[in-house]
C-alpha cells in the first residue's frame, strides 16, 4: 500500500507527463509551420516519450493496486515567438519536470518506500539526459542557427532522430 502523499504525487505526475506531451506537440507544430521538419520530428519524438512516461506512472500505480485518477490536461501556454524561445522553453520545462520527480522521490524517501524509489531511479537518470539534450540543442542553435547552411544541417540532424520506447520493466 502506497503512502497517501506518494500516491497523490505519482497520480499527479501522470497528468504532468501528458501535459509535457501536449507541450512538445505544440513545439513540433510550431517548427512544422516554420518549415523545419527536422526540429518538428525531434519534438514529435519528445511528445511520444512523454506519453510513454505517463503510461509508466499509470502502470506503476495499477501494479500497486492503487486507483488512478485522470484529470484534464491543460492547454500549452508557452509563447512561441522564435526558434530559440521554443528551445529555451523546452529546457525550462525539463528542469520543472526534474523538480517534480525529485519531489516524488523525496516523499518516497521520507516514508522509506524503496519500491517507489527504485521505480523513480530510471526517471532521475532520464531527466538528466533530457536536460542535457535540451542544453545541447540550445548550444547548437547558438552556434549554427543564424547561418542558413548551419540551420539546414542542424535540421537534417534532428530529422534523423527515431523513436525508441523506454525499456523500463514494471
Q: What is the pLDDT of residues 147-156, one digit of tens each?
A: 999 999 999 9
Residues 6+ apart with CB under 8 A from 113: 2, 3, 6
Q: Specify the number of domains making up the chain.
A: 1
Residue matched to cell numbers 490536461: 73
* Three-state DSSP state, 74: coil
Helical H runs in 64-147?
Answer: 83-110, 114-144
Tell me whether residue 14 is in a domain: yes
The answer to whether 112 touches 68, Cβ cutoff 8 Å, is no
Domain that holds residue 11: 4-159
Tell me whether residue 53 is in a domain: yes
Q: Is the pTM of this model over 0.85?
A: yes
Q: What is the CATH number of the domain that holds 54?
A: 1.20.1260.10
Q: What is the pLDDT of residues 17-70, one digit of tens each?
A: 999 999 999 999 999 999 999 999 999 999 999 999 999 999 999 999 999 999
d(CA 126, CA 91): 14
Tell me whether residue 166 is in a domain: no
Amino acid at each position: 500500500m502506497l503512502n497517501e502523499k506518494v500516491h497523490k504525487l505519482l497520480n499527479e505526475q501522470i497528468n504532468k507527463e501528458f501535459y509535457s506531451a501536449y507541450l512538445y506537440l505544440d513545439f513540433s507544430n510550431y517548427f512544422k509551420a516554420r518549415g523545419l521538419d527536422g526540429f518538428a520530428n525531434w519534438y514529435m519524438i519528445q511528445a511520444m516519450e512523454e506519453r510513454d512516461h505517463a503510461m509508466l506512472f499509470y502502470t506503476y500505480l495499477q501494479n500497486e493496486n492503487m486507483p488512478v485518477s485522470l484529470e484534464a490536461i491543460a492547454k500549452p501556454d508557452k509563447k512561441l515567438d522564435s526558434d530559440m524561445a521554443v528551445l529555451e522553453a523546452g529546457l525550462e520545462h525539463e528542469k520543472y519536470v526534474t523538480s517534480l520527480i525529485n519531489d516524488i522521490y523525496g516523499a518516497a524517501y521520507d516514508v522509506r518506500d524503496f519500491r517507489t524509489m527504485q521505480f523513480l531511479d530510471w526517471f532521475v537518470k532520464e531527466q538528466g539526459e533530457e536536460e542535457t539534450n535540451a542544453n545541447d540543442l540550445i548550444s547548437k542553435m547558438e552556434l549554427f542557427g543564424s547561418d542558413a547552411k548551419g540551420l539546414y544541417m542542424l535540421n537534417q540532424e534532428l530529422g534523423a532522430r527515431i523513436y525508441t520506447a523506454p525499456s523500463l520493466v514494471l
